[in-house]
């Protein structure tokens, strides 16, 4: 694997154990470690000298640690501890290369640095690679067993337990399968762990509580280089996302933020360096401080991992628990008693101070559970209150009585639950939770009261709307002098009924008179609003209503039958009556008069201004009268009650007259046409003139009967033409259209009449006795055909002439 320039390798500790503060700070800046937060991992490697540790790291993590030159002999290559950043692995991973153990350079007796560096690696690393030869497995003095034994013992005493992964890398694997080597190695590790003396708190603690053990095997780098590289590449994949759940260091604990890594490493090395023989500080207070803190931490951890407490904590998250305070007090007392027993021989001041800290930590640990329990008791009490309150209301109990009884009952029930949850060690105040419950109950009562009041109000408002809307609309539609008195009467009756009913319903809510009066006043205002809204709606359609009323009265008689303008009707009187009725409708719609304001003033003003003034102006145009409608308000009526101002009334009346004038003119035209159609006689003077001037001619006719015959025949012809041409019908549409139509029909009609006369004259010849039946029948058929042809031709001629006349007329 190619080396990367991003590895930033730096010596962390030199061979003398001096910490390279400047170098590590510069390394953290170059590696941008401070930006990683908790998302980083530390991997270290330990093992015998010249066992290929640096070579393995360089191939595994693409670092550039110095490797041993095999051609120059086997000697110490890495001195102290070196650190580098892995290239291409997420999250950010730091690798520490430790000086090899059993080196001849340090000698047989100088093993302190080896132990210190191994302990340092275990303290700061998440994953520790232990490089070992395959042939050392199963040997008592090989595979770093003595070193591991010492490290295990001191690790538990000096540091808080952290879950470190120990990965044993078996080098130069032989033919023996890994499945056979791994059990032997794990058994040796377990034996070392079992043989290490442990404090009381960890006597039964398994190895898995402190370490995760992994075993891998690699082929010989010198003999099987390609196979070695393939195995290393496969092993590298396991270091991707190593701190994620399920990764190599997925369950690590006590992680130091990346920005504090340098300081943490310095302090750890300082403690290790000051205790060269791996002994605890000798000073009494320091010993008491460290030991009491350890004991307190152990007891805290024991309490946190206590099965009974865990079950209690888990159970309280889902609901209230009976006897919670008693059970938790027992567990807390046991924990503190064990602390007192183990710390009794240490400095009293330190012991007492650490005990108080332990109490605070324990109370901080259990406080969320206690608060959760109080929350469950409060929510449970509130739910039960709501249920009981709702049931009481449905059972017919008065609202105020139900609210008072249920509140008292369930507040007492809450107090009993709090007494059962009290922790003796803590003096926690539950009054805030109690006050919150009380506020919640009061808020629920208020919300139910508001909902009930809203429901009642909506019910009576709905009744009022149904009782007022349609009747008011009907009364306004049939507007007359009694419209507003009828509306006022209806309004008072329905409003008093609704207010009385609502007032009775509110008696069970224990409300003060002011609030009750406000609700009743709102109901009255709503009723008034319904009437006003309906009136405004109808006022918006007043012109349509006026025209409809005018059309109804003008076009129908007193029996509601359509009028036929025969000439006997007094159109002026009918028009005046219809317009007066429409004016009445306008006066009714002009303003809202629920309070008996201006009952007759508007109608009188409109009548005076729009009807009487017109008549007066017609009679005497020289008289100038002030216009009473030249105003934007009505006398004695407020602007808020005005729907149609005087000026608007004048404009509407002018528009109304313009739009109804056509109907009047049409009626007059129809009446005149009817008169003309019913009067065919000439004027009397014409009749007298005819008698006087035609007396001689008349006497001549009487003396000569031939003239009478001629006149009689002419009369018949004229009568026939009159009937055939339908002269009366043609003149219904007027004189000029009638003359034009008759002029086109006269000639075809005369020709048809002559043709028919000729055919009638030819009938005797055709009626001679036939020689045989067949011709007779044939002649009969011909006669019938000729007659039909004549009729058809005559009809077609008449029809054609009518069509042409109509076309010309159009």
Q: How many C-beta atoms lie closer than 10 Å to residue 232's C-beta?
A: 21
* Interval 516-536 mean pLDDT: 84
**Residues in the chain, total:** 810
Provide the pLDDT for residue 799. Answer: 36
Residue-by-residue DSSP string for 231-268 = HHHHHHGGGTTTTSTTSTTTT--SPPPGGGHHHHHHHH
- Band of pLDDT at residue 545, cut at 50, 70 and 90: confident
533 contacts: CB under 8 Å, gap ≥ 6: none
CA separation (Å) from 9 to 57, 82, 134, 265? 12, 7, 29, 17
Tokens 């350890």 — which residue? 294
Chain Cα centroid distance, residue 81 = 62
- Band of pLDDT at residue 290, cut at 50, 70 and 90: low
- Band of pLDDT at residue 158, cut at 50, 70 and 90: low
CA separation (Å) from 574 to 159, 196, 468, 556, 585? 117, 127, 34, 10, 17
CA separation (Å) from 591 to 358, 542, 598, 640? 84, 12, 9, 9
Q: Indicate yes or no: pTM above 0.85.
A: no
Instruction: Pick from 198-202, 353-357, 618-622, 798-802 the range whose average pLDDT is largest.
Output: 353-357
Question: How far is the C-alpha of 290 from the C-alpha of 426, rounded, in Å?
Answer: 26
* Largest Cα–Cα separation, the chain: 188
Structure token pair of residue 275:
């205790």
Lowest mean pLDDT among 43-47, 54-58, 105-109, 490-494: 105-109
Provide the pLDDT for residue 6. Answer: 58
Query: How would you class 786 by CB atoms within 10 Å of its CB: exposed for 0-12, middle for 13-18, buried for 19 or more?
Result: middle
Query: Radius of gyration (Cα) for the chain, nearest Å?
Result: 61
Instruction: Pick from 5-14, 32-41, 184-193 the range whose average pLDDT is largest.
Output: 184-193
Structure token pair of residue 487:
């509306």
String of b and e for 115-147 (b: at least 16 CB within 10 Å)?
Answer: bbbbbbbbbbbbbbbbbbbbebbeeeebbbbbb
674 contacts: CB under 8 Å, gap ≥ 6: 565, 566, 567
385 contacts: CB under 8 Å, gap ≥ 6: 406, 407, 410, 441, 444
Tens-place pLDDT, residues 775-789? 333 333 333 333 333
Question: How far is the C-alpha of 215 from the C-alpha of 181, rounded, in Å?
Answer: 9
CA separation (Å) from 800 to 161, 523, 730? 124, 77, 15
- Check whether the bond before 91 is cis (ω within 30° of 0): yes
Chain Cα centroid distance, residue 646 = 50
| Percentage of residues in the chain having pLDDT higher than 90 | 8
Mean pLDDT of the chain: 77
Tens-place pLDDT, residues 291-316? 678 788 888 888 888 888 888 888 88
Question: How far is the C-alpha of 46 from the C-alpha of 121, rounded, in Å?
Answer: 8
Tens-place pLDDT, residues 643-661? 788 788 888 888 888 888 8
361 contacts: CB under 8 Å, gap ≥ 6: 296, 300
Question: How far is the C-alpha of 377 from the C-alpha of 422, rounded, in Å?
Answer: 13
Provide the pLDDT for residue 580. Answer: 81
First-to-final CA distance of the chain: 108
Are the CB atoms for 157 and 75 separated by under 8 Å? no
Question: How far is the C-alpha of 452 from the C-alpha of 457, rounded, in Å?
Answer: 8
505 contacts: CB under 8 Å, gap ≥ 6: 456
Strand 127-133, strand 40-46: pairing: parallel
Q: What 8-state DSSP symbol labels residue 741?
A: H
Provide the pLDDT for residue 38. Answer: 78
Q: How many C-beta atoms lie closer than 10 Å to residue 360's C-beta?
A: 11
String of b and e for 471-499 (b: at least 16 CB within 10 Å)?
Answer: bbeebbeebeeebbebbbebbeebbeebb
Question: How far is the C-alpha of 148 from the C-alpha of 266, rounded, in Å?
Answer: 23
Provide the pLDDT for residue 514. Answer: 80
Question: How far is the C-alpha of 575 from the C-alpha of 661, rounded, in Å?
Answer: 10
Structure token pair of residue 761:
């004259």
Structure token pair of residue 336:
């503190």
Q: How many C-beta atoms lie closer than 10 Å to residue 564's C-beta?
A: 11
Are the CB atoms for 305 and 358 separated by under 8 Å? no
Tens-place pLDDT, residues 388-446? 888 888 887 777 778 888 888 888 888 888 878 777 777 787 888 888 888 888 888 88
Tens-place pLDDT, residues 627-644? 767 776 777 777 777 778
Q: Is the dihedral of CA 503, 488, 475, 606 positive or negative?
A: negative
- Band of pLDDT at residue 144, cut at 50, 70 and 90: low
Question: How far is the C-alpha of 156 from the C-alpha of 159, rounded, in Å?
Answer: 6
- Phi, psi angles (nearest 5°) of residue 595: -110, 25
Tens-place pLDDT, residues 577-593? 888 887 887 777 777 77
Tens-place pLDDT, residues 704-734? 777 778 887 888 888 887 888 777 777 766 6
Question: How far is the C-alpha of 735 from the C-alpha of 680, rounded, in Å?
Answer: 12
Question: How far is the C-alpha of 306 from the C-alpha of 331, rounded, in Å?
Answer: 9
Are the CB atoms for 243 and 126 separated by under 8 Å? yes
Q: From edge to edge, which strands make up the β-sheet containing 40-46?
A: 10-13, 81-85, 92-98, 40-46, 127-133, 164-171, 211-217
Cβ contacts of 272-275, under 8 Å, gap ≥ 24? 272/116, 272/119, 272/120, 272/123, 272/158, 273/17, 273/116, 275/158
Helix, strand, coil in percent for the chain, rounding step 5: 65, 5, 25
Question: How far is the C-alpha of 536 from the C-alpha of 591, rounded, in Å?
Answer: 9
Structure token pair of residue 789:
């042809």
User: What SS3 state is found at 84?
Assistant: strand
593 contacts: CB under 8 Å, gap ≥ 6: 484, 488, 599, 637, 641
CA separation (Å) from 420 to 316, 324, 327, 444, 725? 14, 7, 10, 26, 119
Tokens 């605890």 — which residue? 280
Tokens 């407020």 — which residue? 638
Are the CB atoms for 353 and 295 separated by under 8 Å? no
Q: How many C-beta atoms lie closer than 10 Å to residue 35's C-beta?
A: 11
Q: How many C-beta atoms lie closer than 10 Å to residue 418's C-beta?
A: 19
Question: How far is the C-alpha of 123 from the C-alpha of 271, rounded, in Å?
Answer: 11
């Amino acid at each position: 694997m190619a080396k990367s320039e991003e590895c930033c390798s730096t010596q962390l500790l030199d061979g003398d154990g001096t910490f390279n503060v400047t170098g590590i700070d510069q390394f953290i800046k170059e590696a941008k470690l401070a930006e990683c937060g908790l998302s980083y991992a530390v991997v270290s490697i330990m093992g015998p000298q010249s066992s290929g540790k640096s070579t393995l790291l360089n191939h595994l993590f693409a670092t550039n640690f110095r490797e041993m030159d095999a051609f120059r002999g086997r000697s110490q290559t890495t001195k102290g501890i070196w650190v580098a950043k892995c290239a291409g692995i997420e999250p950010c991973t730091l690798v520490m290369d430790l000086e090899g153990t059993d080196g001849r350079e340090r000698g047989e007796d100088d093993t302190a640095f080896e132990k210190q560096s191994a302990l340092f690696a275990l303290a700061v690393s998440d994953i520790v690679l232990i490089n070992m030869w395959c042939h050392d497995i199963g040997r008592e003095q090989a595979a770093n067993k003595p070193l591991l034994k010492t490290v295990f013992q001191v690790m538990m005493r000096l540091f808080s337990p952290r879950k470190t992964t120990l990965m044993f890398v078996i080098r130069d694997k032989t033919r023996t399968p890994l499945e056979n080597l791994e059990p032997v190695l794990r058994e040796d590790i377990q034996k070392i762990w079992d043989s290490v003396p442990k404090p009381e708190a960890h006597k039964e603690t398994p190895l898995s509580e402190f370490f995760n053990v992994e075993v891998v095997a690699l082929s010989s780098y010198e003999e099987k280089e390609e196979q070695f590289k393939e195995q290393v590449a496969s092993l590298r994949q396991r270091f991707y996302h190593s701190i994620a759940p399920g990764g190599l260091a997925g369950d690590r604990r006590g992680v130091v933020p990346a920005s504090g890594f340098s300081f943490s490493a310095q302090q750890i090395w300082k403690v290790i360096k000051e205790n060269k023989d791996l002994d605890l500080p000798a000073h009494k207070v320091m010993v008491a401080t460290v030991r009491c803190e350890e004991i307190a931490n152990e007891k805290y951890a024991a309490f946190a991992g206590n099965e009974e407490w865990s079950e209690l904590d888990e159970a309280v998250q889902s609901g209230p628990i009976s006897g919670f305070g008693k059970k938790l007090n027992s567990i807390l007392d046991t924990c503190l008693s064990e602390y007192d027993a183990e710390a009794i021989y240490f400095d009293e001041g330190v012991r007492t101070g650490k005990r108080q800290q332990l109490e605070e930590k324990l109370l901080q640990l259990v406080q969320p559970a206690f608060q959760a329990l109080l929350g469950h008791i409060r929510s449970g009490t509130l739910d039960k209150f709501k249920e009981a309150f709702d049931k009481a209301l449905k059972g017919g109990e008065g609202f105020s009585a139900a609210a008072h009884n249920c509140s008292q009952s369930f507040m007492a029930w809450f107090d009993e639950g709090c007494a059962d949850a009290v922790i003796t060690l803590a003096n926690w105040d539950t009054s805030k939770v109690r006050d919150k419950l009380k506020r919640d109950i009061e808020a629920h009562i208020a919300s139910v009261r508001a909902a009930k009041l809203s429901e009642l109000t909506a019910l009576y408002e709905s009744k009022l709307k149904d009782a007022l809307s349609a009747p008011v609309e009907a009364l306004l539609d049939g507007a007359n002098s009694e419209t507003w008195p009828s509306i006022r009467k209806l309004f008072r009756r329905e409003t008093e009924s609704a207010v009385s009913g609502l007032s009775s319903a509110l008696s069970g809510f224990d409300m003060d008179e002011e609030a009750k009066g406000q609700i009743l006043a709102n109901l009255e205002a709503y009723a008034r609003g319904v009437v006003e809204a309906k009136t405004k709606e109808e006022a918006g359609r007043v012109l349509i209503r006026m025209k409809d009323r005018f059309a109804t009265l003008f076009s129908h008689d007193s029996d509601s039958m359509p009028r036929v303008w025969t000439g006997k009707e007094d159109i002026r009187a009918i028009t005046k009556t219809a317009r007066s009725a429409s004016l009445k409708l306008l006066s009714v719609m002009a303003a809202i008069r629920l309070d008996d304001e201006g009952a007759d003033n508007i109608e009188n003003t409109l009548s005076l201004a729009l009807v009487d003034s017109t008549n007066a102006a017609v009679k005497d145009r020289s008289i100038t009268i002030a216009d009473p409608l030249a105003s934007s308000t009505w006398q004695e009526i407020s602007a808020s009650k005005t729907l149609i101002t005087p000026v608007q009334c004048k404009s509407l009346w002018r528009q109304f007259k313009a739009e109804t004038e056509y109907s009047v003119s049409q009626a007059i035209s129809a009446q005149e046409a009817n008169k003309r159609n019913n009067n065919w006689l000439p004027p009397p003077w014409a009749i007298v003139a005819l008698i006087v001037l035609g007396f001689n001619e008349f006497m001549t006719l009487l003396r000569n009967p031939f003239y009478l015959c001629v006149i009689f025949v002419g009369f018949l012809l004229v009568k026939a033409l009159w009937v055939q041409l339908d002269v009366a019908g043609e003149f219904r549409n007027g004189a000029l259209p009638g003359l034009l139509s008759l002029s086109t029909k006269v000639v075809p009609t005369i020709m048809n009449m002559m043709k028919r006369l000729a055919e009638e004259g030819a009938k005797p010849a055709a009626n001679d006795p036939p020689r045989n039946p067949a011709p007779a029948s044939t002649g009969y058929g011909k006669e019938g055909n000729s007659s039909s042809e004549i009729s058809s031709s005559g009809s077609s001629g008449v029809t054609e002439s009518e069509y042409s006349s109509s076309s010309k007329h159009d």
